[in-house]
Amino acid sequence: MSNNISQTERLISYIDGDMGDAEKILLQQQLQADKAMQQELDNLLLATDVVKNYGLSNRVANIHTKMMNEMAATSTQQKAIVRSLPKLFMKYAAVIILLVGMFGLYQYFAVSADKLYSEQYSAYTLTTSRGNETLPAIEQAYSEKKYNEVIAAFKQQRDASVKENFVAGQAYLAEANYADAINCFKTVLAKNSSTHTGLLSDDSEYYLALSYLKNNETAEALPLFKKIHNNKEHLYNSKVSAWFLRKLQLLSWKQ
């Protein structure tokens, strides 16, 4: 037994590196000759490997727990950020879409020919280049806002001029007779077209478009207003905005 203990102690000292060189060489020679001794050494070495493996496994297990918690926290944070960004974006997008939708709906239901006409219409003021000369009766009556007199005088004309047609058109508009106003402005444009002149053409186009609008003929009014909007040289271009055209479009869908 004491020999065995002594042998075990020697083997452990050998494993632990506590042996001197001479003793180590002697032991190695004995190991080559003694299989049982070699077997005990192998078993003791296995025992030290078990201890090292146990220690390492515990150490890694502790680090493993720490790292898994750290990674889970990072992953949660990243997910939260990744999730919250689209969520926030979607929220704002939804609010904007809702507001735009509500505004669109409001515009759709609120828009009317009367409203648009009121926004755009202003009574035409006649200009004269004749200084203090006396105005023709029809123009004089219009200047004095005697629209019925204008209309009566116009009706008596056999071949009314471009200007007389235009003034009559304005008088009809003022008297809310939109159909006749339309005829007058159309006549102005037709006459100009046939004579290749442009007297009061821009004015007539604008007031014709207004007359169509007020007469609930939006489909006729829309292309005229678009033409005015697209022509930067048109006298009434600044009066026909893109926003007005959008509302007019809404009105045409409504009708």
Partner 1 sequence: MSRTGNYDDAELIRGLKADAASGKVIEYLYRANFEALSIHIQQNQGSRQDAEDIFQEVIVAFIELVQKDKFRGDSSIKTFLFSINKNMWLNELKRRNRSVVREQKFETAKDLVDADSNDYITAREARQQVIVVMDKLGDVCKKLLLTFYYENQSMKEIVQTMSYENEQVLRNKKHKCLKRLEQLLTADPALAKTLKTALQHEQ
Interaction site with partner 1 (CB under 8 A): 8-9, 12, 16, 40, 43-57, 59-61, 63-64, 66-68, 71
For partner 1, which is the closer residue by CB, 45 or 102?
Answer: 45
Q: How far is CA 188 from CA 59, 191, 194, 207, in A?
A: 100, 5, 10, 11
Shortest distance in whole angstroms from residue 58 CB to partner 1: 8
Place of tokens 């000759």: 33
The amino acid occupying position 254 is K
Question: Minimum distance from CB of 35 to partner 1 (Å)?
Answer: 14
38's CB contacts (< 8 A; 6+ apart) are 31, 32
Closest distance to partner 1 from the beta carbon of 65 (Å): 9
CB of 24 to partner 1, least distance (A): 18
Q: Which residues contact 205 (CB under 8 A, 6 or more apart)?
A: 185, 189, 224, 227, 228, 234, 236
Residue closer to partner 1 by CB (options 52, 115) is 52
* Nearer of residues 74 and 148 to partner 1, judged by Cβ: 74
Indicate the residue among 68 and 97 with the shorter CB distance to partner 1: 68
187 phi and psi angles, rounded to 5 deg = -65, -40
Phi, psi (5° rounding) for residue 47?
A: -60, -40
How far apart are CB 40 and partner 1 at their closest, in Å? 7
Q: Return d(Cα 143, Cα 148) in angstroms, integer.
A: 12
Which residues, in sequence order, are CB contacts of 32 under 8 Å at separation 6+?
A: 38
**Which residue in 203, 109, 118, 105 sits closest to 163, CA to CA?**
203
Tokens of 137: 């009766």
* Closest CB to partner 1 among residues 45, 137: 45
Q: At what angle do helices 2-16 and 35-110 cross, to 10 degrees?
A: 50
Q: Which is nearer to partner 1, 13 or 231 (CB)?
A: 13
48 versus 197: smaller Cβ distance to partner 1 = 48
Q: How far is the CB of 51 from partner 1 (least distance, A)?
A: 4
Residue 78: CB minimum distance to partner 1, A: 11
